[in-house]
Structure 1
Amino acid sequence: MPSTPVTIPARRGKAAHVRQGQIVKVINTHGDQVVDTWAFNVQDLKEFMSMEHSRPHMLKTIPIVGDIMRSNKRRPILTLIEDTSGGIHDTLMAACDCHRYKFLGVETYHDNCEDNLHAAMREIGLEAPETPSPLNLFMNIPVKPDRSLSFEAPVSTPGSYVALRAEMDLVIAFSACPQDILPINGVGHMPTEAHFTVE
């Protein structure tokens, strides 16, 4: 029986325990919300999904169905098994943080993915040892012919999703990215909630 979708609130984070072999489906409910995604080995939180270690094995900057995300010990941690979102994700950008928003001209506190990760982990009684560079689901960062990067709106559509298979017992954490200055969350830049299931 399918699990009930869990809400990742707009501008906030959520974390959950996932057993090896279970499938995590991340749903872009409204179609244009970037979801920063992390995974930690539940037995040792210092082992975590690492984009830097995944890219050399995939030989890609954007994972496709069948690709395996690796931990910082180069062990399989999540496998992308289904993608109805258009297949555009990001493995290059660090999670937004308070320092990033200062660069963007924000003088006061701004919700950010780094704080969302740590709050989500604390909500289930855990402390993330650091903020790894996330798998930015649905984030559109094209590499141009001149090798420059740009921040573009997602290509995903309402209700589209990504399914990830856990390759070890892990904790998965998400942030519905609160970026509202750059256009990464689509036209209008307004963050929305997203959802996930664990089956």
Structure 2
Amino acid sequence: MPGPDSADDRAHDPGRAAPDSSRIVVPPQSGRAFQVARGDLIRIVDPQGQQVADLWAIVTEPALDWLSTAQTRDINERLFPIVGQAFYSAAGQPLLTLVEDASPGPHDMLFPACNPGLYAHVGLPGHPNCHDNFLNALASRGLALPFVPDPVDFFQNSPPQPDGRLEVLASINPPGGYVRLRAECDLTLVVTACSVDFHPTNGDACTEIEVHIERDQPVR
């Protein structure tokens, strides 16, 4: 069900102007960076199903800060937020609120981004990876971080097992499954379409992710 201040709420609020909308396509095994403003709604869509989307959020003003999966787990006292709860920064600032989850889940905040070392370990040196795609996407916006924070892995099916193991299974997200977030401050977001293709994490093949932004105010 949509959370507070959903797109439907906005459409029926005569005191609020209709938001501008924009669409960003993240091709398979790649990443894109873009800016959102406070109040914008961000819908992350898996058009073909079973594709994991990694998300990062960066704050540049008044000081550099970033989405922290550890702080988010700690503040919410959950492995993953439920609708109405926020994703928090390393400094404890709410950055994004989960306002709708139109997927069966599950989602993940325990795994790092896939990286060159992972692919080298399985005999695939030089393979596209979310670690490098994040850094390259961020650089395209003139930004840099001294490290790669752990991402939010939407649609990743890797729930902890009863014996404590972490096992990544094939995503069960259907075609068109999505989540909707609300920006609680001005942010640079990076979304990558997970690159793992040696394991059924992303089903039979890596596919694209779409990001739809409903802007509170038109971009000038």
Please give the TM-score of this superposition, normalised by the length of structure 1: 0.93
Report the CA distance shift for 1:64/1:83 in structure 2 as closer, same or farther (over 3 A): same
Deviation for aligned residue 1:2: 5.3
SS in 2 for 1:73: coil
Structure 2 residue runs of 5 or longer lacking an equivalent are 1-18, 215-220
Where has structure 1 moved over 4 Å in runs of 4 or more? none
Structure-1 residue corresponding to 2:187: 170
Secondary structure of the residue that 1:17 maps to in structure 2?
Answer: strand
Secondary structure, counterpart of 1:5 in structure 2: strand
Amino acid at match of 2:32: K
**Identity rate, percent:** 36
Matches within 5 A, 1:95-106: 95-106=113-124
Indicate the residue corresponding to 1:27 in structure 2: 45
Contact kept? 2:138, 2:190, Cα under 8 Å: yes
Structure 2 counterpart of 1:191: 206
Secondary structure in 1 matching 2:72: helix
Q: Distance in 2 between matches of 1:81 and 1:140?
A: 20
SS at match of 1:162: strand
> Deviation digits for residues 82-137 of structure 1, max 9, x if unmatched?
0101131000000011011122222x301000111111112233223421000001
Q: 1:72 aligns with which of 81, 85, 90?
A: 90
Aligned counterpart, 1:139:
156
Please tell me whether the aligned partners of residues 62 and 88 of structure 1 are also in contact (alpha carbons under 8 angstroms).
no
Residues 64, 87 of structure 1: 8 Å contact kept: no
8 A contact 2:105–2:156 mirrored in 1 = no
Q: Take 1:138 and 1:113, find their aligned partners in 2: how far apart are those partners?
A: 15
Q: Which moved more, 1:76-85 or 1:122-131?
A: 122-131
Q: Quick one: distance in 1 between partners of 2:126 and 2:63?
A: 28
Asked if 1 retains the 8 angstrom alpha-carbon contact of 2:28 and 2:207, the reply is yes
Structure 1 alignment gaps of length 5 or more = none
Residue 18 of structure 1, CA deviation:
0.5
How far did 1:144 drift? 1.3
Cα distance in 1, alignment partners of residues 62 and 172 from structure 2: 35
Partner Cα separation in structure 2 for residue 119 and residue 99 of structure 1: 17
Task: State the distance in 2 between where 1:174 and 1:19 align.
Answer: 16
Tell me how far 1:46 sits from its aligned partner.
3.3
1:152 corresponds to which of 169, 191, 200: 169
Q: Match of 1:9, as an amino acid?
A: P
Deviation string for 1:153-183 (max 9, x for gaps)? 1121111110011111110001101101122
| More displaced 10-residue stretch of structure 1: 20-29 or 57-66 | 57-66
Range with greater deviation from structure 2 (3-12 or 71-80): 3-12
Residues paired across the two proteins, number: 196
